[in-house]
Structures are given as structure tokens and as C-alpha cells.
Amino acid sequence: MALESVDLGQVSGVEAQAPVWDHYLQGDPARLNSDFGEFLKRTAIRLDVRTDEQVAHEALNHRDPMIREQSLFQYVDRGLPGAVDLLTEAVKTDSVREVRWNALWALEKIGGPRALKALQSFVNDDDADVGEWARLFASELTTGLPAFDSRSWKQDPDRTFDETILLNIDVDVYVRLDDTGRHWGKISLAPQGLARSYGQAHACPNSATRDHQLVISKNLAGLHDDGTPHVENFLFRGVTNHASAGRGSFFFESRGLRPIFLSGQADNDTLGHRNEMVSAKRSGEWTTDPLMEIKGKPAIRYVRGAVQTWGYINFETMRGSSLEEILFPGNSILGTLDTPTGPMANAYITGTFKGKLVDWDGDGKIDVNSLDIYSTHEAEVDTNQDNIADEPGVQFCTRTNWMNS
Ligand SMILES: [Ca+2]
Ligand SMILES: [Ca+2]
């Protein structure tokens, strides 16, 4: 399961594979053919060099649920035959609910009548959230809009955020392999793989401000020796369009001071760091539930959208490593192009996210804001969750004291 030790001599003919534009009758190529990720997808070499048989086997049998999920998404990404059957088997048999609902998402990505039928077969699953995801994805495939069940819910009005929505994020990471600009490698990261290496992101809306301000809070387990989570928060500001009743389409931007560790690893200051204003954008659409009212407004029950960002990957340290060896806590950091360290950014990250409210404690009631979020309203790190910052204005884990050096 080793990643490829890239021999650039072997891939130097890659430009010969670049496709000819053959869809011009569909319209203006400036509109249809300007997605940077799509360009990279056509020519990037796959850095996961497992055989197709290995991928299929590990999708159902690997001991680590993150690798099972990675393998399911890898199987779909390769366009291998029988993907609907493999995903269906995973939803039926896997013991981890995240693997099950992300396998349902992969079915939606495949689309078509067979995937739809498979999704519909899980609508009444014993795990109500697996069932609701199946219902939601099936509804999106047929109408473009989500559908929800009618479970009861609970919400704690005294917590910092009115809602805490875990985001399942699926990205492709395109790594620039040399300075020629001709050679790129592709790593597909399923939601748990991204959460393991980069952290788990949560959208944290407050009813009063959500149309123009949103905190995205990320925490990463397994990085700190003392067991505390590594925390990075992002304060997004933007615009929400309410032209469709019950939905909000949005475009938000974020810019915050954070350290770029030259090691390529979060909180690893062995090679030093540069403090930069790192930017990010997010756009998509959320759907409210009129039966779930929080502080005078219907709650956001579901959000989906797309992300594009840049990162810095210390690729030299990864060659010949396995997926498990690469996807360790902290082994990926965001970068930003328009700063002095911009030229170091060597990984284009593009993907989609989906998050809905979930019953996390299994009492049959949806938990609207039960997840631990270490952030103030203004995205400052807040270890004890009392909405008072550990350090005013600081949005990134303070343990390296990066902001003072
Ligand atoms: Ca619950
Ligand atoms: Ca505090």
C-alpha cells in the first residue's frame, strides 16, 4: 500500500495525454473549461498505487475505519466496476456509522438508477442518522433538494453556538511534484482521512448573525501528547441570498493570522514558521427546518457546498510511505498564495462538504449544538468553552507561542 516513489522520467510524457477540447458545441470554453482542479485531474498521476484488488479488499476488511472509507472512495474515484455493490455491502456490514453514511454519500456521487435504488434501501436503517442520510441523498439525486425525517431534537441555549454541525469533507489534493509545473500527483481524501490528518471541521452558526458571519472550528485529535485537541478556527464573513424560501445560498471569505510551519506539520516548529494572513473561501447552500426553531429562526438542518484552498505538503518526507503513515495527525497545513511564503504552497485542494444535524448520543433526539467547539463567537481559541478567548484575537492553537515569535 505504498505511495509511489515518483520517477519523473517515467511521467515526462504526461502532456501527450492531455485531452483535446472536444465539447465546444456545448458553449464557451471560458465558462466550461476554467476549473483548475479539472485540468489537474486529467494529467495528475495517482499517488495511491495499491492494486484495484487491494483497494476492494481493504474497503471491507481493513482494521482501521479511516482506511476502509479511504478505500471505498478510492474505488469510486478509479471508476472501477461494481462500485454500487461494494458500497452497498459496506453500508450493510460496516460497524462504524461514519463509514456507513460516507459510503452512502459515495453512492450519491456515482448517481444513476442503481445507486438511487441502493440509497432507498437504507432509508429505514436501524441507525436513524444512516437512514436520514440515505433519504437525504436519494432526495438530492431526484430533486436536487434534501429531505429530513421528523425526529424530536434538543438544544442547549447557554452554549457558545446555537448549532454545531459536523462537516463531512471529501477533497482531492493535487501536489506539484517539481518546478516544471508539468508533473502533479493526486491524493483523494475521504472525510475521515482528512479529519485524521488535518482535523475535523464544524460549522457553528448563531441564529442572530449567520447570514453574514460564521465560525468554522477545526479540532484535531492525537497531535498533542497530553490528549488535548489541537484547535484552529476560522472567522468567515459573507453574504447570504434568501430568494428561495427555506434555503440560503452563501458566499463567505475568511482571512486570519496563522503560522505556516516549514516542517509542513501543524505545531511542528523544528524548521521554524512564518506568520501569514491565510485566506479561504466557501460557497454553497443551507436548508432550514421550519419545525426546529432556535431563538426565533428555523434551524439550519443541512448544509452543502464546495471548497478550494491551497496547502503546503512536505512531499520529500512522504515518498515510499503508506497511507496510514501519511495520514497522521497534523501532517497537512493550509497555505495561501498571496504572501511571501506563497511560493511554498504546492498542493491544490478542491472538494465538497456536507453536514447535517445528527443524534450523537443515541437517545433518539437530534443534538443541535452538543459537539465541543473550542471557539469564541469571533473564532478565537477558547479551551474552556466559555466564549472568552484564551488569547484575544488568536485563532490558532497557542502552544508553540507562534504569535510572539
Ligand atoms: Ca441525542
Ligand atoms: Ca475561555
**Is 67 in the same domain as 161?**
no
Same domain for 129 and 159, yes or no, is no
Residue 4 lies in a domain: no
Question: What's the 96 CA to ligand 1 centre distance in angstroms?
Answer: 17
Q: Which ligand neighbours the alpha carbon of 364 most closely? A: 1
Q: What is the pLDDT of residue 84?
A: 98
Ligand with smallest separation from the Cα of 392? 2
**pLDDT computed for residue 330 by the predictor:** 78
Q: What is the number of structural domains in the chain?
A: 2
Ligand nearest to the CA of 381: 2
Query: Ligand 1 centroid to 136 CA: how many Å?
Result: 19
73 with 115, same domain: the answer is yes
What is the domain extent for residue 35?
Answer: 31-149
Q: Let me know whether 136 and 175 are in one domain.
A: no
Number of Cβ within a 10 Å radius of residue 296? 7
Q: Do 130 and 183 reside in the same domain of the chain?
A: no
State in Å: Cα 382 to ligand 2 middle. 4
Q: Give the pLDDT score at 326.
A: 77
> Domain for residue 15, yes or no?
no
Q: Which ligand is nearest to the CA of 231?
A: 2
Among 149, 170, 202, the domain-final residue is 149
CA pair distance 120, 176, nearest whole angstrom: 40
Closest ligand to Cα 388? 2
Q: How far apart are CA 219 and CA 233, in angstroms?
A: 8
Asked if 352 and 214 sit in the same domain, the reply is: yes
pLDDT for 19: 52
What's the pLDDT at 304?
A: 98
Judged by its nearest atom, the ligand closest to the C-alpha of residue 362 is 1
Tell me, yes or no, whether 128 and 254 share the same domain. Answer: no
358 CA to centre of ligand 1 in angstroms:
8
Nearest to 287 by CA among 148, 162, 154, 149: 148
> In terms of C-beta density within 10 A (0-12 exposed, 13-18 middle, 19 or more buried), how is residue 234 classed?
buried
Show the low-confidence residues of the chain (pLDDT under 50).
Answer: 1-16
Q: 98 and 175 share a domain? A: no
The domain boundary residue, chosen from 119, 149, 179: 149
How many angstroms is it from 213 CA to the middle of ligand 2?
20
Domain-embedded: residue 3: no
Ligand 1 midpoint to CA 360 (Å): 5
Q: Say how far apart CA 265 and CA 330 lie, in whole Å.
A: 5
Domain check: are 166 and 112 in the same one?
no
Is 366 a domain residue?
Answer: yes
Which-ligand-closest: CA of 155? 1
Distance, CA 385 to ligand 2 centroid (Å)?
Answer: 5
Q: How far is the CA of 41 from the centre of ligand 1 (A)?
A: 40
Identify whether 185 is part of a domain: yes
Which ligand approaches the C-alpha of residue 369 most closely?
1
Total number of residues shown for the chain: 405
User: Residue 79 maps to which CATH number?
Assistant: 1.25.10.10
Q: Which of 149, 165, 199 is the last residue of a domain?
A: 149
Same domain, 67 and 183: no
Q: Cα-Cα-Cα-Cα dihedral of 53, 56, 60, 65, to 10°?
A: 110
How many angstroms is it from 37 CA to the middle of ligand 1? Answer: 38
Does residue 377 sit in the same domain as residue 259?
yes
Name the closest ligand to CA 371: 1
What local confidence, expressed as pLDDT, does residue 344 receive? 85
